[in-house]
Structure 1
Amino acid sequence: MFLLAVLVTVVIVGAQEPHPCESPKQFEGRQATFDHQRKSQIFARFAYDDIEKRFREIEIEQFGKQHAFYDTLYLHNVGLEYKLDLRTRKCNVTAITSPFRPFAIPPDAKFKGAVVYGAAGIPNQHVNLNRFEGEMGELQFEMFHTSPNCIPVQVSFFKNSTRVVKHRQFYDVSVGISDPEAFIPPKDCIK
């Protein structure tokens, strides 16, 4: 009887562990990105489309006291990147060589814990986050998503578990894409 009670408890506790949830397929907002390879900090407005594998960011990049302003459109669905320097209006169109990395939690991700961000126990002053880890191709990832709505809050990619490749924090997120032209290349890039 004792063994049966232990097995039932283990099954109940195991069933309560959060599993990868499904994030919205399209959303927009703001992000702070820390690129350790380029030693830069980037603040941007963004639009994200998981369905067509598209991502656009209009960014201010800081290298110490210097600033750069870019409008970058990643069209993984056609394999092209458009990067417009908003100061010079010079546009570079290049082939995308890296795979599309979704901000959604992959189904094989491992749950690593839950945290409360903000003032726990005070209504409307906190958000519950679930932390997941795993591998996506040659990179490892760590993701924090809201619970229960599964909105990404932080996504980090690592190489060899030690070197951060990209670290993004999302805020002011809204589901859907408000600008129907969000994924049309800038006029300065079409010639």
Structure 2
Amino acid sequence: MRVIIALVFVLAGCLAQKPHPCKSPPLMSGALTVSTQNEELWVYAKYLYDAWGQRLRLFEFVSSDNKTFTYDILMLYREHVVYQIFDNNKTCTVSPMKGDFVPIGIPKGASLLGQAVVGSSSGPGQGLLVNSWMGDVPDVGGKFMITMTEFGCIPVSFAFQTKEYGWMVVSYFNNVIGISDPGLLNPPSFCPDSEKAADSDRKPVDFPSLFHKRN
């Protein structure tokens, strides 16, 4: 009985602590969905995330304009390059990238909206303690809202305003700390090197435009 009482006080103390901004683990993999306020775009993707190397790879299934597409996208932020990879015929298209790498976490200046339990707090293992934050999207305008787990700083959802789609919502699930095959974050041998890619005359892309239909 004393042990149970002690655990209750420890849990109460954890819940009473004010949440602080955090950053997610530097290496993660998992899956995500992207949906938009105007219902014109829906994406399911598996992802690989490397904050140390500023690299992100997405294996996407996209529904847009009543059509579906699949994409394999590798983003190298240090080189400001995006690769679209076609394994079926061993080719790549390369585009310059707009914008800088932003690690997954709570940006500076964000305001805490509150702490909540996703699921139920009625019993052990029935809920997930999360913190929600809100702020302004830098250099773009509009607002963002991000929800992270209290323990581990794992992303749950990220919503931000865009001119084309209205609110764009990214929901994360099946997150795993670490990457089983780090080689997938390097361009395949049949792709051009990053120096040639940086000189590409293709239109620069940013994160939201990665989910558009591409040729």
Which stretch shows the higher mean deviation, 91-100 or 24-33? 91-100
Distance 1:94 1:30 in 2: 24
More strand per residue: 1
Unaligned 5+ segments in structure 1 are: 1-14
Per-residue deviation, residues 71-100 of structure 1 (Å, max 9, x unmatched): 001100111000135677653201001332
Taking structure 2 as the reference length, the TM-score comes to: 0.71
Contact 1:138 1:159 in 2 (8 A): no
Residue 46 of structure 2: aligned partner: 45
Unaligned 5+ segments in structure 2 are: 1-15, 194-215
How far apart are residue 114 of structure 1 and its match?
A: 1.2
Cα root mean square deviation, aligned: 2.6
Of 167, 170, 175, which residue of structure 1 is paired with 2:169? 167
Distance 1:86 1:58 in 2: 12
Contact 1:89 1:188 in 2 (8 A): yes
Structure 2 residue identity aligned to 1:75? L
Distance 1:174 1:70 in 2: 22
How far apart are residue 115 of structure 1 and its match?
A: 1.6
SS of the equivalent of 1:189 reads coil
Q: How many pairs were matched up?
A: 175
Residue 10 of structure 1: aligned partner: none
Contact 1:113 1:131 in 2 (8 A): yes
Alignment of 1:51-66 (within 5 A): 51-63=52-64, 65-66=66-67
Taking structure 1 as the reference length, the TM-score comes to: 0.79
How far apart are residue 121 of structure 1 and its match?
A: 1.6
Contact 2:23 2:103 in 1 (8 A): no
How far apart are residue 122 of structure 1 and its match?
A: 2.1
Of 177, 183, 186, which residue of structure 1 is paired with 2:185? 183
Distance 1:85 1:138 in 2: 33
Residue 100 of structure 2: aligned partner: 99
Aligned-pair identity in percent equals 28
